[in-house]
Amino acid sequence: MRIYNFWSDDQITREAQQSPKSRANQAKTIELIDSIGGLRGAVLDIGERNLFTEILENKYHLSIDSTSGDLDIALNAPRREYDFVHYNHVIEHQFNPLFTLLEIKKILKPGGILILGTPMKPNWITWPKCHFHEFDEYRLMMLIARAEYKIIKSIHFYHQISVKGVRPLLGSFYKRLFIGLLTDKRT
C-alpha cells in the first residue's frame, strides 16, 4: 500500500492545476495532440482523474478512463486496450517508472500512442521532495529506449520564472518540460 500522498488536499491540487505553469503544460500537450489529429477511441489517463482529464474530455468530446491503485505495483485500468494513454507528470512521482511504461505497452493497441510528459533538468539543481525521479535528457531517452518505445514527436519548453525562493528561481532557468508522443517500437 502506498504510504505517501503528496496531493491529498483537493483544493491545493485544483489550484496547482490552474497555475500558469500547469496551464502552459496543458496548452503544449493539447498542441502536440492536435498535431496528430486529436484524441479518439479509447483513452486512459494514468493516475487519478483531475482537472486536465476534464479539459481533454471536453475538448475532444470523449470519456477518458483513469487508473486506480498504486502504479508501482499494478496498472489497474478499466479496459484491456487503449488507443491513447496519457501519462503526464506522473512518472517523476513513481518509485519504478520502468514498470509502468512496460505495463502500458500491454494495454496500448498496436499503433497506439503514449503521451508522456515530465520535467527535465540537470540532476543537481532544484530536485523537489515529491519527485522520486527527475530526468535529464540522457536518462529520459535511456528509459524510453529501455522500455522499447520510439518517439514520434516531442517538444521541450521552459517553465515561467518563479520568484518563490532560490530553488524555484533556479529551476526557472534550468528546468524544462518534455512532452512526447511515443509508440511501441515493435509496431
Greater model confidence, 165 or 151 = 151
Using H for helix, E for strand and C for coil, what is the string for 114-130? EEEEEEECCCCCCCCCC
Position 4 confidence tier, pLDDT thresholds 50, 70, 90: very low
Identify the weakest region by mean pLDDT among 12-21, 55-64, 84-93, 164-173: 164-173
What is the chain's mean pLDDT, rounded? Answer: 81
Assess whether pLDDT exceeds 60 at residue 109: yes
* Burial (CB count <10 Å: 0-12, 13-18, 19+), residue 111: exposed
User: Would the pTM of this model clear 0.85, i.e. be above it?
Assistant: no
Rg (C-alpha) for the chain, rounded Å, is 16
Domain boundaries, the chain: 11-184
**Segment 71-105, tens digit of pLDDT:** 989 999 999 999 999 999 888 888 899 999 999 99
Return the CATH class of domain 11-184: alpha beta
Contact 118, 92 (CB under 8 A): yes
Q: Return left, alpha or beta for 152; rule: phi > 0 is left, psi -120 to 50 is alpha, else beta.
A: alpha
Identify the sign of the CA torsion 97, 185, 178, 11: negative
